[in-house]
Structures are given as structure tokens and as C-alpha cells.
Amino acid sequence: MMGIEKLQEHVRKQVQLAHDFEKLVLSDSRFEIVGSVILGLVCFRLKESNEINEKLLKEINNSGKIHLVHSTEKETYFLRFAVCASSTEQKHVQYAWKIIQELTNSILNGIPPSN
């Protein structure tokens, strides 16, 4: 069990890591942020069709390396990256982004992803 100070520290860390992920997404012109970053949740998508975004999510989850979920708003399909584990560190955010970029490159260049 954690006290109020530890809980505040945990939430602040999650929020910071989410904003770090947001910066990574914004650094790649192929992607866009959908809505505001709320606590540890970052909603993003490729600036492509819903079908391409669905394919990206499928490849991400099929890789078994990271797991994301999706949502849809006003017929726009997007991916949801959530920082919620107390053990999550910057290296995990960087790793997730690396996987996302590798699979994006494979999809957009028509190269089958390697596991």
C-alpha cells in the first residue's frame, strides 16, 4: 500500500512518461495525436486510412512485444498508448516507440514485419 505522496509521485511519473511518448509521436510527421494527453493515456494514429491504422494495431499486438488497444471517434480509428504500470520507465516508452516505428515502416513500405 502506498501513501498519498507515493501515489502523487506515481501519477506524476505516468503523466511525464505519457508526455514523453507524445513528443515521440509528434516528432514523426507520419503520425498525429488525437485529443489531449490525459494522465497516462496518449491517443494517436497514422495520418493514413482507418484500415492502415487497424493493420498497424494488429501487427503491434501480433508481435507480442507490446500491446495497444484502439478506439474510434467520429469514424476515426486511433491507437491508445497507456502508461499505467508502476514499473514503467523511460526505456520502456522508447522501446514501445521503436516497435511502433519498425512496424509502421514495414507496413508503409510493403515489407512483411519480422518477429
Contact 37, 22 (CB under 8 A): yes
Tell me the C-alpha distance between 48 and 50, whole Å: 7
Eight-state DSSP code of residue 99: H
Counting residues of the chain whose pLDDT is more than 90, the rounded percentage is 86
What are the pLDDT digits (tens) for 34-58?
999 999 999 999 999 999 999 999 9
Residue 79's Cβ-count burial label (10 Å; 0-12, 13-18, 19+) is buried
pTM: 0.91
